[in-house]
């Protein structure tokens, strides 16, 4: 079997299927991006083996593990055939020990060429966390809620520029309404893994465009080392009229269920204030989405302005945009970034 270090594993696995043989619970907590779970043990079986190891002996634990494996060998091979047509595969467990070694040897009997990760998922997690310590050339797009930052970044991503979609990876748009229309958020651990996978694909000498975010995007947290870089990079602050922002937000959110919108308003009621909460909810119930959005934006605008005022040492450069054409605005933003590229803090790293 080919047992390889994490750097080589990352490179090889770009083009090969990756099999995670840990339990479903371990896999759900976090796994290598795009990995397939073919668990050698169920959650309960691993608990039994672990208990025997602690309370009885290593030998009885191994005997029980082998008993489980013998009962399910055909199941493993059937799953492999169903899920993995490739003749070369990558495989890992928690530490690169018994589980990946055993399953790797089994899969080799089918003619597969197996690359096994030395140090297992633990080595991968160390690699992920170290990746955020690298210095990236970041260009941060900011602006008040409804400024069209996400649409502009999407258009930038269609060019030859590099774009990191933090909200897309997090499955959340970053506000109290950010979960609407989104899939369930990953765990913070999985968010970090997916984030590192995107960064790995980028060319380090080129700029990376991303949106200005709070430390938390919904329930997931931006890694500290990356967040420090975001907050030390110059922000290009998109400025559009409040009317444009309101109309954009109505377009994005008015089609959601009213009860979901009202629930999101209630989630910020303490910060919005009792009267504003009442008025916003009444406006939603009466289909007056313009009024509701106007009320809510007053809160978000104050919060954003206050947050910017507390960022010591970060340069914020405004850019006024007159229309809502995302493609044209993206071109203007890219051009603006080139104009100020000599600005000493645009890419401080």
Catalytic residue annotation: 93
What is the Cα 301 distance to its own chain's centre? 26
- Residue 62's SS3 state is helix
d(CA 153, CA 150): 5
For residues 32-57, one letter each, b for 16 or more C-beta atoms within 10 angstroms of the residue's C-beta and e for the rest, the string is bbebbbbbbbeeebbeebeebbeeee
If we measure between CA atoms, which residue out of 214, 199, 209, 217 comes closest to residue 233? 209
Other residues' Cβ atoms within 10 Å of the Cβ of residue 123: 18
Give residues with Cβ within 8 angstroms of 184, minimum separation 6.
171
Residues 6 or more apart whose CB falls under 8 angstroms from that of 274 comprise none
State the first-to-last Cα distance of the chain, in angstroms, to the nearest integer: 41
| CB atoms inside a 10 Å sphere around CB 289 | 20
């Amino acid at each position: 079997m080919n047992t390889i270090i994490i750097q080589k594993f990352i490179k090889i696995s770009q083009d090969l299927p990756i099999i995670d043989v840990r339990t479903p619970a371990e896999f759900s907590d976090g796994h290598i991006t795009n990995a397939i779970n073919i668990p050698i043990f169920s959650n309960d079986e691993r608990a039994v083996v672990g208990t025997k190891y602690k309370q009885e002996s290593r030998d009885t634990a191994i005997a029980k593990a082998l008993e489980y494996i013998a009962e399910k060998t055909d199941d493993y091979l059937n799953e492999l055939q169903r899920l993995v047509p490739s003749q070369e595969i990558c495989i890992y467990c928690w530490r690169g020990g018994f589980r990946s070694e055993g399953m790797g040897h089994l899969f080799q009997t089918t003619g597969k060429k197996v690359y096994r990760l030395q140090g297992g998922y633990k080595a991968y997690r160390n690699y992920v966390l170290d990746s955020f310590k690298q210095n990236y050339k970041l260009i941060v797009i900011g602006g008040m809620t409804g400024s069209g930052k996400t649409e502009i970044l999407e258009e930038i991503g269609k060019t030859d520029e590099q774009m990191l979609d933090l909200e897309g990876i997090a499955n959340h748009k970053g506000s109290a309404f950010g979960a609407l229309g989104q899939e369930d958020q990953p765990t913070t651990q999985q968010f970090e893994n997916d984030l590192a996978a995107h960064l790995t694909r980028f060319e380090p000498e080129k700029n990376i465009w991303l949106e200005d975010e709070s430390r938390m995007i919904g329930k997931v947290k931006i890694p500290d080392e990356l967040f420090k870089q975001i907050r030390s990079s110059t922000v290009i602050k998109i400025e559009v009229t409040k009317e444009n922002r309101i109309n954009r937000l109505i377009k994005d959110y008015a089609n959601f269920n009213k009860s979901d919108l009202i629930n999101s308003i209630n989630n910020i009621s303490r910060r919005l204030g009792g009267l504003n909460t009442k008025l916003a909810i009444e406006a939603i119930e009466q289909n007056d989405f313009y009024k509701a959005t106007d009320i809510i934006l007053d809160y978000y605008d104050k919060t954003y302005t206050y947050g910017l005022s507390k960022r010591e040492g970060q340069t914020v450069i405004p850019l006024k945009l007159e229309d809502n054409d995302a493609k044209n605005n993206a071109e203007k933003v890219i051009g603006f970034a080139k104009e100020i590229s000599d600005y000493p803090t645009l890419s401080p790293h």
